């Protein structure tokens, strides 16, 4: 039997926290994020900044949730806040404080009506 890596254990704990938050807060968005995180790593979304710029459904002031990895290819001119499971160095350098870890979503006070999950 394979030994689980530290990163894998952290991911499983994060999934549990999202399911608990979904029950406590009665917000379906938390359970949707947890379901996306449960998918195999090869099926996790990898989103470029250029894709976020092109999406018409993402407008200024939105909160974008990426249950995968944010990549730094392209330029993002929209004023949005991004929560991602992981992000590349290039993406974090380009966006500075606009990018937050997915676990911060559980503690931050946000308007859930403005949040969108991008796959």
> Is residue 68 assigned to a domain?
yes
What single-letter DSSP state applies at residue 72?
Answer: -
> Residue 103: left (phi > 0), alpha (psi -120 to 50), or beta?
alpha
Range of the domain at 112: 6-117
* Separation of alpha carbons 79 and 100, rounded Å: 14
The per-residue pLDDT for 101 is 92
pLDDT mean values, one per 10 residues, the chain (119 residues): 70 92 90 90 89 91 92 91 91 84 90 88
**Would you state the pLDDT for residue 99?**
87
48 within some domain: yes
CA–CA gap between residue 96 and residue 91 (Å, rounded): 8
Kindly report the pTM of this predicted structure. 0.87
Give SS3 for 11: helix
How confident is the model at residue 3, as a pLDDT?
62
What is the number of structural domains in the chain?
A: 1
Residue 22 lies in a domain: yes
Q: Has residue 96 been placed in a domain?
A: yes
Question: Is 1 inside a domain boundary?
Answer: no
pLDDT at res. 119: 86
Specify the CATH number for the domain of residue 23: 3.100.10.10
Q: What is the pLDDT of residue 43?
A: 87
Domain presence at residue 18? yes
Residue 47 lies in a domain: yes
**Within a domain: residue 33?**
yes
pLDDT at 112: 83
């Amino acid at each position: 039997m394979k030994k689980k890596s530290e990163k894998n254990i952290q991911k499983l704990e994060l999934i549990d926290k999202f399911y608990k938050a979904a029950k406590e807060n009665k917000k379906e968005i938390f359970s949707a994020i947890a379901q996306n995180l449960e998918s195999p790593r090869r099926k996790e979304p990898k989103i470029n900044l250029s894709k976020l710029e092109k999406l018409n459904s993402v407008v200024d002031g939105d909160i974008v949730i990426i249950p995968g990895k944010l990549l730094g290819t392209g330029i993002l001119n929209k004023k949005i806040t991004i929560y991602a499971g992981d992000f590349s160095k290039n993406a974090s350098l380009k966006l500075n404080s606009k990018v937050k870890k997915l676990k911060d979503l559980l503690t931050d006070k946000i308007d859930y009506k403005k949040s969108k999950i991008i796959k």
